[in-house]
Amino acid sequence: MASSANPTRDDFAKMLDDQLGGVADDGFEGRVVKGTITAIENDKAVIDVGLKSEGRVPLREFARGEGEHGLKVGDEVEVYVDRVENADGEAMLSRDRARREAAWDKLENEFGEGKRVEGVIFGRVKGGFTVDLDGAVAFLPGSQVDIRPVRDVTPLMDVPQPFQILKMDRRRGNIVVSRRAVLEETRAEQRSELIDKLSEGQVIEGVVKNITDYGAFVDLGGIDGLLHVTDMSYKRVNHPSEVIAIGDTVKVQIIRINQDTQRISLGMKQLESDPWEGAAVKYPVGAKLTGTVTNITEYGAFVELEAGIEGLVHVSEMSWTKKNVHPGKIVSTSQEVEVVVLEVDSDKRRISLGLKQAQQNPWEAFAEKHPVGSQVEGEVKNATEFGLFIGLDGDVDGMVHMSDIAWGISGEDALALHRKGEQVSAVVLDVDVEKERISLGMKQLERGAPAAGGVAATGGSSLRRSEVVTVTVLEVRDGGLEVQAGDDGATGFIKRSDLGRDRDEQRPDRFQVGQKLDAMVTGFDRSKKPNFSVKARQLAEEKEAVEQYGSSDSGASLGDILGEALKNRS
């Protein structure tokens, strides 16, 4: 049993605890405590933190960068107690760990308050960089270094600068920071300050920073504005590089400022005079002008009349004769053309132009050059089921209806006589300029055919309705007789029912080719071919005889009256 005269090891330990205030050694572990430097031995500092034994800390842990530690005996420092006692009976202390713990405490507070922290980029790792946050090591992803990709980060390393903590986990010792967030926030603050100094309508100078297909970005002194391609000039601009280049100093007007998105729209053409002012006076409807084709689309072509003013020639107004053709086959870009103003809308900045109106209507020109009854020649362009289309002067077509191809045969048989590409002659029957139609006849050129004017030629005279003429039988058919007036006149037809009043007289087979007979002209068909009738002649003679010799009431028979009339006529 121990006594006060012979104390044991446990007695000494208890006396030491009492002297140190009764604090258990294990209460120090894992804590940052203050200690005093009692000695500096070689490259280590001996530090007393009030434990059973002192601890040693490498001097390099007190140095910052390449600087000296600057320590001396008696200085008070903070260290982290890793273990109260190691195998050698010394306390395990760390200045680096103490700095990290202090840094973590500070960073957690700043992260919770959303404050920026200061750090130094000091190394490279996969996917980014390492940052010293006053003792705590953080990860900086490559995408968070700057607003735009940075090729060389060397100038940014070992330089104290602000960072924003994105994420931190103390248990895992993980901190993620961003330099880009700080730059964006700073830039947003600067943008707000600059936007407050700008106003819509203000004229300002800027430098072209970037060019895209739709416009250019102009630096207005710390803030960018978009100069859209449509606001560069009143004239057509196909690409912004035609007007400006990167690095150019340009004078622009602020068109619009969006306070919500902080976007600024700029314009250059707004500083020029508007060519559309007074356009309706400069370009009256019906005026013939010269312009340059600037753009061709499926629906038409744009023609520049002057810088900043373009008109559209719709595809329907490009050619009199070329229908359903792509405009690119009629005009080409940069070609000078004559156009006529069709309509002007100054409010909508639109001018409708006509290309074909600057040229004479080919149907009017044809009608002037080839009146009805004149003879023309052309190539068979197409054969349809109802007639032939003939190519004529002025790039227009005329149509020969199947009934106007030849006499004496059916329209189908007449169509079979002609082929595409054949050269033929025809007579102009009608020209409709408004409907763009030309009617032609080929059979009218045959010997004895009726003239295009509406009467039939016969030996220098013309046939008239109700006129009685002597005709010669050319052909005997079941339906009647094909006859010719005189020896060299127009040919016509006598229907079976018109061969006589009585049924016996209406038999075509009682006539022979070459036989002559008298008949009356009763009319003309659509091709001006005369129609004859023996029956009509008989009825007319009977009426005439009755009027001349009295009616049958006088006692004379109808046969006596007709016999007397025929005798007198002989």
User: Which position has the higher pLDDT, 285 or 568?
Assistant: 285
Distance, in Å, from the CA atom of 154 to the CA atom of 487, rounded to the nearest integer, reads 116
Asked whether the whole model's pTM tops 0.85, one would answer: no
Find the range with the poorest average confidence among 70-84, 480-494, 519-533. Answer: 70-84
Q: What is the mean pLDDT of the chain?
A: 80
Split at pLDDT 50, 70, 90, the class of 563 is low
What is the rounded CA–CA span in Å between residue 376 and residue 399? Answer: 12
What's the mean pLDDT in 81-88?
Answer: 65
pLDDT tens profile 200-216: 888 888 899 899 999 99
Q: What is the pLDDT of residues 422-462, one digit of tens each?
A: 888 899 988 888 888 899 988 888 755 555 444 444 333 46
Report the pLDDT value the prediction gives residue 178, as an integer from 0 to 100: 92
Answer with the residue of higher pLDDT: 278 or 200: 200
451 or 222, which is more confident? 222
What is the reported pLDDT for 70? 64
Residue 163: the pLDDT is: 93
Q: Any idea which residue has 């300002």 for tokens?
A: 204
Note the maximum CA span of the chain: 199
- pLDDT, position 85: 64
Reported confidence tier of residue 197, pLDDT bands at 50, 70, 90: confident
Number of neighbours of residue 442 by Cβ within 10 angstroms: 22
User: With bands split at pLDDT 50, 70 and 90, how would you rate the model's confidence at 102?
Assistant: confident
| The predicted structure's pLDDT at residue 570 | 47
Query: Is residue 550 very low, low, confident or very high in pLDDT (cuts 50, 70, 90)?
Result: low
Per cent of the chain over pLDDT 90 is 14
Read off the pLDDT of each residue in 269-295 and give the average, rounded to a whole number: 86
57-64 LR contacts (CB < 8 Å, sep 24+): 57/93, 57/94, 57/95, 58/95, 61/94, 61/95, 61/96, 62/95
Between 54 and 240, the more confident residue is 240
Q: Tell the burial category of 469 from Cβ atoms under 10 Å away from its Cβ (0-12, 13-18, 19+).
A: buried
- The tokens for 313 are 């020639």
**What pLDDT does 552 receive?**
45
Lowest model confidence (mean pLDDT) among 71-85, 270-284, 394-408, 552-566 = 552-566
Strand partners, 382: 389
> 9-51, pLDDT tens digit by residue?
556 555 655 554 444 455 566 566 777 777 777 777 777 777 7
Helix residue spans in 348-454 (DSSP H): 362-369, 411-415
CA distance linking residue 142 with residue 163, whole number of Å: 14
Long-range pairs for 104-109: beta carbons < 8 A, 24 or more residues apart: 104/136, 104/170, 106/134, 107/133, 107/136, 107/165, 107/168, 107/175, 108/168, 108/170
Lowest pLDDT segment from 94-103, 179-188, 250-259: 94-103
- Residues 139-165, mean pLDDT to the nearest whole number: 89
Please report the domains of the chain, with CATH numbers, ordered by start residue.
29-113 (2.40.50.140), 114-184 (2.40.50.140), 198-271 (2.40.50.140), 279-358 (2.40.50.140), 362-445 (2.40.50.140), 457-549 (2.40.50.140)
